[in-house]
Amino acid sequence: MSQSPSDTLTTADGVPLKVSLRRAVRRSKFKALLLVSPLLAFLIIAFVMPILDMLWRSVDNPEVSTRLSRTVEALEGWDGESLPGEPVFAALVADLREGQEARDLGLLSSRLNYEKSGMRSAISRTARRLGNLEPPYREALIEINDSWGELSTWKLIERESSPYTLSYYLAAMDRQLSPEGEIVKVPDYLEIHVALFWRTFWMSAVITGLTLLLGYPIAYLLANLPLRHSNLLMILVLLPFWTSLLVRTTTWIAILQSQGVLNDMMVAIGVIADEARWQMIHNKTGTIVAMTHILLPFMILPLYSVMKTIPPSYMRAARSLGGKPILSFRRVYFPLTIPGIAAGGILVFILAIGYYITPALVGGQSGRFITNYIAYHMQTSLNWGLAAAIASILLLVVIVFYLVFNRLIGVDKVKLG
Amino acid sequence: MNESAAIDARQALPQEADTCFARFIDVQKSYDGVELVVKGFNLDIQRGEFITLLGPSGSGKTTCLMMMAGFETPTHGEILLQGQPINGLPPHKRGIGMVFQNYALFPHMTVAENLAFPLEVRHLPKAEIARQVDRALGMVRLEGFGSRRPAQLSGGQQQRVALARALVFEPELVLMDEPLGALDKNLREEMQYEIKRIHASLGVTMIYVTHDQTEALTMSDRIAVFNDGVVQQLATPETLYELPENAFVASFIGENNRLQGEVVEHLGERCEVVLDSGERVVARPVAVGGVGTRTTLSLRPERVALIGDDDEGRYDNRFSGIVQEVIYLGDHLRTRLQLCGNDEFILKTPNAEGNASLRPGQSVTVGWTWQDCRALDA
Ligand SMILES: Nc1ncnc2c1ncn2[C@@H]1O[C@H](COP(=O)(O)OP(=O)(O)OP(=O)(O)O)[C@@H](O)[C@H]1O
Ligand SMILES: [Mg+2]
Per DSSP, the residues of A308-363 read: HTS-THHHHHHHHTT--HHHHIIIIIHHHHHHHHHHHHHHHHHHHHT--HHHHHH-
Cα–Cα distance between B137 and B120 in angstroms, integer? 17
DSSP A16-84: BHHHHHHHHHHHHHHHHHHHHHHHHHHHIIIIIHHHHHHHHHHHB-HHHHHHTHHHHHHHTT--SSS--
Cα–Cα distance between A316 and B61 in angstroms, integer? 17
Helix axes A193-224, A370-379, angle to 10 degrees: 120
B122 to chain A, any CB pair closer than 8 A? The answer is yes
Of the pLDDT bands very low, low, confident and very high (cuts 50, 70, 90), residue A8 is: low
Q: Is the pLDDT of residue B314 over 80?
A: no
Q: What is residue B2's predicted lDDT score, i.e. its pLDDT?
A: 45
CB A8 within 8 A of CB A16: yes
Chain A residues touching B69 at Cβ < 8 A: 316, 320
Q: What is residue B18's predicted lDDT score, i.e. its pLDDT?
A: 54
Q: What is residue B311's predicted lDDT score, i.e. its pLDDT?
A: 63
CB A386 within 8 A of CB A52: no
* Inter-chain touch A321–B169, beta carbons under 8 Å: yes
Of the pLDDT bands very low, low, confident and very high (cuts 50, 70, 90), residue B319 is: confident
Q: Please name the member of B101, B104, B121 whose beta carbon is closest to the beta carbon of A323.
A: B121
| 3 state SS of A373 | helix
In sequence order, what are the beta bridge partners of B177?
Answer: B209
Cα–Cα distance between A374 and B227 in angstroms, integer? 71
* CB of B2 sitting under 6 A from ligand 1: no
Cα–Cα distance between A224 and A203 in angstroms, integer? 31
Distance (Å) from CA B57 to ligand 2 centroid: 7
What ipTM was predicted for this assembly? 0.78
Cα–Cα distance between B48 and A164 in angstroms, integer? 85
Test the B interface: residue of A314, A315, A320 with most B CBs within 10 Å = A320
Cα–Cα distance between A213 and A296 in angstroms, integer? 10
Q: What is residue B146's predicted lDDT score, i.e. its pLDDT?
A: 92
Query: Which residue, B116, B68, B133, B61, is CA-closest to B95?
Result: B68
Q: What is residue B6's predicted lDDT score, i.e. its pLDDT?
A: 42
- Whole-number percent of chain B with pLDDT over 90: 36
DSSP B78-134: EEEETTEE-TTS-GGGT-EEEE-TT----TTS-HHHHHHHHHHTTT--HHHHHHHHH
pTM confidence score = 0.79
- Mean pLDDT for A13-41 is 87
Q: What is residue B1's predicted lDDT score, i.e. its pLDDT?
A: 39
* CB of B57 sitting under 6 A from ligand 1: yes
CB B18 within 8 A of CB B32: no
| A54: exposed, middle or buried (Cβ count in 10 Å: 0-12, 13-18, 19+) | middle
Write phi, then psi, for A50 (nearest 5 degrees).
Answer: -60, -35
CA distances from B129 to A212, A328, A337, B116 (A): 35, 18, 27, 6
| Rounded to 5°, angle at Cα A89 from A87 and A93 | 115
CA distances from A292 to A196, A215, A284, A361 (A): 19, 10, 12, 15
- Mean pLDDT for A404-416 is 74
- Whole-number percent of chain B with pLDDT over 70: 93
Q: Is the pLDDT of residue A330 over 50?
A: yes
* Inter-chain touch A321–B95, beta carbons under 8 Å: no
Q: Tell me which of B24, B28, B31 to substitute to probe ligand 1's pocket, judged by most ligand atoms within 8 Å of the beta carbon.
A: B31
Cα–Cα distance between B114 and B324 in angstroms, integer? 56
Mean pLDDT of chain A: 89
* Inter-chain touch A323–B117, beta carbons under 8 Å: yes
Cα–Cα distance between B343 and A149 in angstroms, integer? 119
Q: Is the pLDDT of residue B360 over 80?
A: yes
Q: If phi over 0 gives left and psi between -120 and 50 gives alpha, with beta otherwise, what is residue A180?
A: alpha
Query: Which residue, A45, A52, A50, A54, is CA-closest to A374?
Result: A54
B257-266/B271-275 β-pairing: antiparallel
Ligand 1, atom 6: nearest CA belongs to which residue? B31
CA dihedral A223, A224, A229, A232 (to 10 degrees): -10
Q: Tell me which of B37, B38, B41 to substitute to probe ligand 1's pocket, judged by most ligand atoms within 8 Å of the beta carbon.
A: B37
Whether residue A136 is preceded by a cis peptide bond, meaning omega within 30 degrees of 0, is: yes
| 3 state SS of B242 | helix
Cα–Cα distance between A141 and A130 in angstroms, integer? 9
CB B137 within 8 A of CB B143: yes
CB A377 within 8 A of CB A192: no
B96 to chain A, any CB pair closer than 8 A? The answer is yes
